[in-house]
Amino acid sequence: MRILVTGGAGFIGSEYVRMLLGAPGGSAEGVPPIQPSRVTVLDALTYSGNRANLAPVADDPRLEFVHGDIRHAEVVDEVVAGQDVIVHFAAESHVDRSISGAGPFVCTNVLGTQTLLDAALRHGVRRFVHVSTDEVYGSIAEGSWTEDWPLAPNSPYSASKAGSDLLALAYHRTHGMDVVVTRCSNNYGPYQYPEKVIPLFVTNLLDGRTVPLYGDGGNVRDWLHVHDHCRGVAMVQQGGRAGEVYHIGGGTELTNKELTGRLLQACGADWDRVTLVADRKGHDRRYSLDISKINKELGYAPTVGLDDGLASTVDWYRDNRSWWEPLRKAAAA
């Protein structure tokens, strides 16, 4: 089986590649035995893409890396030819950046996805897995979203992802393409670019800096370890029904204030290191995914508890300064 992983040098995509290729030290618990003959990574290596994320599998002869952009039709057409499966992680994903400028999000997340879908249709790709987010639903005060919940995105980022979801599902309905969509809750774990909340807080605390807490800290998120997310994606790749949406969640909801407290404790810091800042525009109050569908159909359940996951994540950033310090210096330059 030949698998194309878009965005495979990013945080989540690289975890998927490392998992597919059985990276040394990685966990195989609950991972479907996909056994690819070749894994091709297509990545534009923007600020959050990093070849170092693939270092554990860099010498695997099954790995092929292509430096290219999903918005470029000629590049995409050449890479998609001969692939059996596409797992599409590539996206602009930082909400704050989308508020500052929505253009790159629309171009990459919507037009880039359309370019991939066209190439997949043209070359007869057997399965197209489109990886999305719970943010497409907006905010929910109580209860949890099911997969048939109406989309109501509130940020330019989430709106662009909702658009790409609808495009992917439309290619199934219009052309009969074997498309499946996954929507996940907030990911965390190793190799996450340090602009996102957990690596930002951890790296700042490890360096003796303060951390910013939006508004009253009452925004609620469900936290999902990246390994569990990729396990869920692999299950959907193997056994998901064409044209369906599957939720992948972590099962642990925390307010941002509760999360901050756990990170302070894990890093040996106190609340005097927290600075309250004005809330983000359009900040969704609460996300919550119902994961009963993927559990009943494919047997998915999260395996990494939040306490263990946060502890191992903090340890990883503590032990891998050589990975994140250059990224932070480059961002500040």
97-104 contacts: CB < 8 A, separation 24 or more? 97/157, 98/155, 98/156, 98/157, 98/160, 99/155, 99/156, 99/280, 99/281, 99/282, 102/156, 102/160
Residue 62 makes CB contacts below 8 A (sequence gap 6+) with: 21, 36, 37, 38, 39
**Cβ burial, residue 94 (10 Å; 0-12/13-18/19+):** middle
| pLDDT band at 316; cut points 50, 70, 90 | very high
Reduced to 3 states (helix: H, G, I; strand: E, B; else coil), residue 302 is coil
Helix %, strand %, coil % of the chain (to 5) = 45, 20, 40
Catalytic residues: 134-135, 157
CA atoms lying within 13 Å on the CB side of residue 332: 7
What would the pLDDT profile of 174-202 be if each residue is shown by its tens digit? 999 999 999 999 999 999 999 889 999 99
Q: Of 297, 257, 325, which Cα lies nearest the Cα of 147?
A: 297
330 or 254: which carries more pLDDT confidence? Answer: 254
Beta-carbon contacts of residue 316 (< 8 Å; ≥ 6 apart): 189, 190
Closest of 200, 190, 305, 199 to residue 252, by C-alpha: 305
pLDDT bin (cut points 50, 70, 90) of residue 142 is: very high
pLDDT digits (tens, 9 = 90+) for 5-49: 999 999 999 999 999 999 876 666 678 888 899 999 999 998 889
Task: Please report the pLDDT score of residue 282 as a whole number.
Answer: 76
Q: Return the pLDDT at 311.
A: 95
What is the predicted pLDDT for the residue at 198? Answer: 97
- DSSP-derived letter for residue 267 is T
Q: What is the pLDDT of residue 76?
A: 98
pTM of the model: 0.95
CATH number of 2-188+224-250+283-303: 3.40.50.720
- pLDDT recorded at residue 204: 96
Calpha distance 115→107 (Å, rounded): 10
End-to-end CA distance of the chain: 42
- pLDDT given for residue 26 in this prediction: 66
Q: Average pLDDT, whole number, for the chain?
A: 94
Instruction: Give the number of other CB atoms < 10 A from CB of residue 274.
Output: 20
Which alpha helices (DSSP H) does the chain contain, by range? 11-20, 73-80, 95-100, 103-105, 113-123, 156-175, 197-206, 226-239, 256-266, 292-298, 306-319, 321-332
In this structure, how many other beta carbons lie within 10 angstroms of the beta carbon of residue 306? 20
Nearest to 255 by CA among 245, 266, 247, 263: 263
| Model pLDDT for residues 259-312, shown as the tens digit of each residue | 999 999 999 999 999 999 988 777 889 999 999 999 999 999 999 999 999 999
Segments making up each domain of the chain, as ranges? 2-188+224-250+283-303
pLDDT on residue 169: 98
Residues in CB range of 4: below 8 A, 6 or more apart? 40, 42, 79, 80, 83, 85, 86, 87
